[in-house]
Amino acid sequence: MSEALTRTNLVDIKHLKEYFNVNVGFFKTKPLKAVDDVSFTIKKGETLGLVGESGCGKTTVGRTILNLYKPTAGEIWYDGKLIKTKEDIKEFRKKATMVFQDPYSSLNPRMTVSDIIAEPLDVHELYTSKQERRDRILELMGYVGLNSEHASRYAHEFSGGQRQRIGIARSLAVNPEFIVCDEPVSALDVSIQAQVINMFDELQDRLGLTYLFIAHDLLVVRHISNRIAVMYLGKMVELADADEIYNHPLHPYSKSLLSAVPVPDPKVARANKRIVLSGDIPSPLNAPSGCPFRTRCQYAKPECAEHMPEFKEVSKGHFVACHRTEEIND
Ligand SMILES: Nc1ncnc2c1ncn2[C@@H]1O[C@H](COP(=O)(O)OP(=O)(O)OP(=O)(O)O)[C@@H](O)[C@H]1O
Ligand code: SF4
Ligand SMILES: [Mg+2]
């Protein structure tokens, strides 16, 4: 882990904003601040876990980084270069890709496995002969634990876990360096989740990949992540090494997420008393003033309604956005 911290940044996101204009009445629109001033880096070969409740902006962060949405504001740097022009985006897309949550709807059930995997090879003309194309398909299938007998079968014949493997093989076809994994195991049975996560881990070692790994659940990202970022209502509220977040969460929201995770060690479990949050996550169309978490935070004080807390480094590599970090964690 500490080794990861010494590597160079592959992805550097600065003050990213993604606002969607949504209709709120006749001819009236309002900006929905899905991602609101988010900054972070991902080092080469690292996995950054990104967690938070439904609707907090995780997918939007992933899609905006890949320029599938045009950023409202902010900068995306990749390998030391600002991604700005159409040409930059085109080049960047050859190196960065996304794996989606739902292996059922993201694959065309009427295509064979080999056609699905070959699609990006064909689009980007990544072979010079039929033989090379065939060999590459088999190589990609091998990476994800599928064999040649699967090649001529149709996607609908496979289980969720196997479909996710097919989707991953397709994503790997362009030889990416960076993959946004958007809840790639959430739709799978719990018994299959660990296998697929282990596969992501092995592929990372084998191919030198860098991941932004999105999940609702802290347990899912715990083992695969070097560092973990926690989002709430379009903002990043905490970021630290994975072990640090688990052992010393500082933000009240991270504490509540963690208290819902079953812990095998009874001493840790006692210290982590379950915190049940009252109320739902507010709509990003009507976000609270000041700290976005204040309507559900047991430590909220009047000052929390006045200013958005700064995302501050409180110890090496540990960032938190809360006015009362010191008092709460005394
Ligand atoms: N294309 C869009 N147009 C308008 N609003 C959008 C769009 N995409 C997302 N949103 C809104 O932006 C907010 C963030 O959505 P996003 O899908 O990024 O959240 P998420 O954290 O990925 O949620 P989930 O865990 O459910 O996947 C939500 O309020 C959502 O309704
Ligand atoms: S800033 Fe205030 S409301 Fe927000 S998390 Fe900290 S104590 Fe709670
Ligand atoms: Mg999502």
Tell me the helix, strand and coil percentages in the chain, rounded to 5.
40, 25, 35
Over 50: is that where the pLDDT of 4 sits?
no
Ligand 2 centre to CA of 248 (Å) is 17
Per-residue confidence (pLDDT) for residue 169, from 0 to 100: 94
Whether CATH 3.40.50.720 fits 2-107+177-328: no
Is the torsion defined by CA of 120, 122, 123, 124 positive or negative?
positive
Query: What is the band of 168 on the pLDDT scale with cuts at 50, 70, 90?
Result: very high
SS3 171: helix
User: Which whole number is the average pLDDT over 147-159?
Assistant: 91
Task: Kindly identify the ligand whose nearest atom is closest to the C-alpha of 60.
Answer: 1
Q: Whose CA is nearest to atom 5 of ligand 2?
A: 322
**195 or 271, which is more confident?**
195
What proportion of the chain, given as a percentage, has pLDDT over 70? 93
pLDDT in tens, 195-247: 999 999 999 999 999 999 999 888 889 889 999 999 999 999 999 999 999 99
Least Cα distance to 292 among 281, 301, 302 occurs for 281
SS3 4: helix
Q: What is the number of the ligand 1 atom nearest to the C-alpha of 61?
A: 18
Residue type, 74: G
Over 50: is that where the pLDDT of 263 sits?
yes
19, 58, 220, best to mutate for ligand 1 pocket (most atoms within 8 Å of CB): 58
pLDDT in tens, 91-134: 998 899 999 887 777 788 889 999 999 999 999 888 999 999 99
Ligand 2 centre to CA of 264 (Å) is 29
Helices and strands in the chain: count of H runs, count of E runs: 13, 12
Ligand 2 centre to CA of 270 (Å) is 23
Over 90: is that where the pLDDT of 35 sits?
yes
Per-residue confidence (pLDDT) for residue 296, from 0 to 100: 94
Per-residue confidence (pLDDT) for residue 10, from 0 to 100: 97
Q: Where are the domains of the chain?
A: 2-107+177-328
Measured in degrees and rounded to the nearest 5, phi and psi for residue 277 equal -75, 135
Task: Check: pTM over 0.85? Answer yes or no.
Answer: yes
Ligand 1 centre to CA of 221 (Å) is 20
HSE value, Cβ hemisphere, 13 Å, CA-based, for 13: 23
Per-residue confidence (pLDDT) for residue 198, from 0 to 100: 93
Pocket residues: Cβ below 6 A from ligand 2: 252, 291, 293-294, 297, 299-300, 304, 309, 322-324
> How far apart, in whole angstroms, are the C-alpha atoms of residue 220 and residue 150?
28
SS3 127: coil
Give me 110's structure tokens: 């009427």
Radius of gyration of the chain (CA): 21
HSE value, Cβ hemisphere, 13 Å, CA-based, for 120: 20
Query: What is the band of 2 on the pLDDT scale with cuts at 50, 70, 90?
Result: very low
Pocket residues: Cβ below 6 A from ligand 1: 20, 22, 32, 34, 52, 54-60, 216, 284
> How far apart, in whole angstroms, are the C-alpha atoms of residue 102 and residue 79?
30
**280 or 225, which is more confident?**
225
Give me 206's structure tokens: 């084998």
Per-residue confidence (pLDDT) for residue 115, from 0 to 100: 94
Per-residue confidence (pLDDT) for residue 323, from 0 to 100: 97
Residue type, 154: Y
User: Which whole number is the average pLDDT over 296-311?
Assistant: 95
275, 293, 306, best to mutate for ligand 2 pocket (most atoms within 8 Å of CB): 293
Strand partners, 81: 78
